Amino acid sequence: MSKNKKGKSKKKGNKLSARQLRDEILKLFRRHPKKQLNPKQVSRKLKVANNRDSVEDALEKLAEKKEIRPLGDYKFALNRQDHAAQQNSKHYEGEVDMTRSGDAYIICEGLENDVHVSSKYLNTALNGDRVKLRVWTPRGRRKPEGEVVEVIERARDHYIGTLWKYPNHAVVTIDIVPPLDVEVDISNTPNANDEDRVVVRIDEWPKDRRHNPKGTITTVLGKAGSHDIEMKTILINNGFELEFPDDVMREAEYLPSRISEQEIEHRRDMRDITTFTVDPDDAKDFDDALSIRELENGELEIGVHIADVTHYVRKDTPLDKEAYKRSTSVYLVDRVLPMLPERLSNDLCSLRPNVDRLAFSAVFVFNKNMKIINRWFGKTVIHSDQRFTYNDAQLRIEGKENHLKKEVQQLAKIARRLRKQRYKQGAINFETDEVKFRLDEDGSPVEVFVKERKEAHMLIEDFMLLANREVATYISMKGRDQEIPFVYRVHDEPDPERVEELARFAREMGFDMNVSSPEEIARSYNRLAKETEQKPDLKLLSPIAIRTMAKAVYTTDNIGHYGLGFNYYTHFTSPIRRYSDVLCHRLLQANLKQGKAYRTSKAHLEEQCNHISKQERNAVSAERESVKYKQVEYIERHIGEEFTGLISGIMDRGFFVELMDSLIEGMVPFETLDEPFDVADSRLRMAGRYSNKEYKMGQQVRVRIARADLVKRQIEMEWLRETSARGNGKPQNKGKSANKRRQRSKK
């Protein structure tokens, strides 16, 4: 940021930027909707220093956008039909979803299409804010436009940015698009230095974007660039606070660690049954455990035991309100920001081995044909005998370790049957490669690899899916005559247009899809998952296939879960890290009693579902950002080294390559190559204009890492082709820089 003096800038008499000039001209025409004005009259009325050519260009640009209309003889007037459309507009409420350009789309209930709002009409609204907006449909267009007239509720009030000190004032520039300057008083933060990264709380918002909001610095993080500050930046910019309030921490510390005998008397005692947990190597919050015992008649009783968070987190306490506010734990590459203080997440609620723990359990009895013949839900007390990592459990599945081998293998056998039934009923195999990092003591990545998914992972997943499905089914069946409001996890059918686009894309890559019905789409996705095992280039289709899907969300309106093939589904199994599960536990417990059902306010519950879904999206965004940051940080140490990758995307400026071993993606700009390239309309192929050689999505290539930009999270690569572009059979000169190649092409 350049240190231009901040303050109120008067537009009259000043030379405006092209964008400012267009905005002011449009405002002028809207103030005088019946006037006809030429460039000279516009300049005179605005009293700006821009020359006539600039004013004419701005008028032509506005005419191209149909904001104004040309009348001949260099005169223009407001497009009255669009103006009339705005005058006849309606008001709606919705949530702001910002784009990288600074414009936004507002998601409004009751409107089929999201409403596009230009950045100049956002009126201080930021991403995630709930707003009231005026909506109209411009002449000749099908999709609505809008203008924010009021910010009803701010998504957050804490932001992270860079402090800039000036002789008479200071501002914090927040890292959003477009950047936002917040005026701050630094008299209370003498330790804050120029260009420090800081957390700022916005206390006062202006009426429009022409003025800066005012705020207070709450935390000084220090100079930008360290791993710790960048990870904290990601969390705060996605709306998560780093620290728990004092009253929440006090409440957590005062919770008793001893389980009373009276509490045990009210629960099913399952401490004598073989029980164990299976989690990642570095896990500390064990929120689920499995138990297994063989009954006298040869049937198997399997318990899915979930940490009884609601025993400790009472409704409407400071602890509960903070958990709802966060709604989820956030898992970055090098840290976890928990939903609950560590006293609960890593201690009282964690189902650690060799200690008694309170649980909420789903217990199933399987007959000798591995069919469920009985189910029970309720509060229990358990005692985990063993803590397994996924690798420990896998060794027992493979018969390489003896301790509890029989029990693990019995569970694996039933899990396979549950999995087979799920796919038979239409479930989709959503497995995609997951990137993992090995970090050194300083938190720097020293290795990037793709996580290996073993049967032990699927075993745990299958029993968690079973418990979630059965809890949702129980509530639905109990409320079949009169609905019991509940938190469902739903997943809608895919968007037909997106699926058709995917099918065309897949055909180009040699894979035919049947998209004639939702059932056939599911089968095609599963065939794709199988074929990627033999054809690695098809793996590029998997994330695209997932993007064709609707996003799974929390809601009180059950429409089933398309991806899992379930009619009823909820989240019951992770209350330590998901508030949806906390709500599920409370509602299930209230409805376990015989007789009259417990019904809460559906409208209030839906409001909670919307908030939780929103926080989940924020957490996913933060997690992805942390992965991208660590990938760029890792590859920064490998500038100049060569790797094998797949072409993962093609655009006008160049093509993307995803490295095969690490899934790190970078761009090869066309301007760095020895010949120009023509890109097919489908963006699936490109061809050299001189060599006529064609390359396509999914094709294997060799690249060298040219540069890495941690601030922008971008990686540039150089393409190592076997022969030069003109086909002379000579290898490329690897020593030539991109700049020299550009100079040569100009000659």
Structure confidence by residue, pLDDT tens digits, 425-469: 999 987 778 899 999 988 899 999 988 889 999 999 999 999 999
What would the pLDDT profile of 538-569 be if each residue is shown by its tens digit? 777 877 787 788 889 999 999 999 999 999 99
Inform me whether the pLDDT recorded for 3 exceeds 60.
no
Domain ranges of the chain: 18-78, 84-153, 158-224, 249-488+571-618, 639-746
Distance CA 612, CA 602 (A): 15
Q: Name the pLDDT band for 740 (thresholds 50, 70, 90).
A: very low
pLDDT of residue 726: 36
List residues bridging with 161 in a β-sheet.
174, 198
**What is the tens place of the pLDDT at every residue in 212-263?**
999 999 889 888 778 888 899 899 888 898 999 999 999 999 999 999 999 9
Per residue in 362-397, pLDDT (tens digit) is 999 999 999 999 999 999 999 999 999 999 999 999
Q: What residues contact residue 688 under an 8 Å CB cut-off, 6+ apart? A: 675, 676, 677, 694, 725
Q: Comparing 66-80, 309-323, 354-368, 482-496, which segment has the lowest mean pLDDT? A: 66-80
Name the fold adopted by 84-153.
OB fold (Dihydrolipoamide Acetyltransferase, E2P) (2.40.50)
Residue 207 scores a pLDDT above 90: no
Phi, psi angles (nearest 5°) of residue 462: -65, -40
pLDDT band at 2 (very low <50, low <70, confident <90, very high): very low
Quick one: average pLDDT of 511-520? 89
pLDDT in tens, 616-625: 999 999 999 9
Q: What is the mean pLDDT of residues 692-709?
A: 92
Residue 628 contacts by C-beta under 8 Å, 6 or more apart in sequence? 713
Averaged pLDDT for residues 134-158: 83
Give dist(CA 37, CA 39) in Å, integer: 7
pLDDT of residue 80: 61
What is the residue-wise DSSP string for 250-311?
Answer: HHHHTS--SPPHHHHHTSEE-TTS-EEEEE-TT-----EEEEEEE-TTS-EEEEEEEE-HHH
Confidence check: pLDDT of 330 > 90: yes
Say which CATH class 158-224 falls into: mainly beta
The superfamily (CATH) of domain 639-746 is: Nucleic acid-binding proteins (2.40.50.140)
Residue 694 has pLDDT above 60, yes or no: yes
Give residues with Cβ within 8 angstroms of 187, minimum separation 6.
none
With cut-offs at 50, 70 and 90, classify the pLDDT of residue 11: low
Residue 730, pLDDT > 70, answer no
Measured CA to CA, the distance from residue 316 to residue 319 in angstroms comes to 8
Helix/strand/coil for 159: strand
Average pLDDT rounded to a whole number, residues 724-729:
35
* The CATH number of the domain covering residues in 18-78: 1.10.10
The overall average pLDDT reported for the chain is 87
Half-sphere exposure in the Cβ direction for 53 (13 Å, CA):
0
Q: What is the mean pLDDT of residues 570-574?
A: 98
Alpha carbons 457 and 389: distance in angstroms, whole number: 10
| Amino acid at site 470 | E
Give the position of tokens 């901040």: 6
Which pLDDT belongs to residue 48? Answer: 84
Q: 18-78 and 84-153 share one CATH topology? A: no
Residue, of 168 and 636, whose pLDDT is higher: 636
- What is the model's pLDDT at position 191? 84
Return the percentage of the chain with pLDDT > 70, whole number. Answer: 92
pLDDT 10s digits, 42-64? 888 888 888 888 888 888 888 87
- Is 50 exceeded by the pLDDT of residue 738? no
Which of 155, 634, 588, 124 has the alpha carbon at shortest distance from 377?
A: 588
Q: Which two tokens stand for residue 184?
A: 């701050």
User: In the chain, what percentage of residues exceed pLDDT 90?
Assistant: 53
pLDDT at 723 over 80: no
pLDDT tens for 62-100 read 887 778 888 767 788 887 655 555 555 678 888 898 887
For residue 650, which of 697, 719, 705 has the smallest C-alpha distance? 697
pLDDT-derived band at 108 (thresholds 50, 70, 90) equals confident
- Enter the DSSP assignment of 683: S
Provide the residue type at 721 as one letter: R
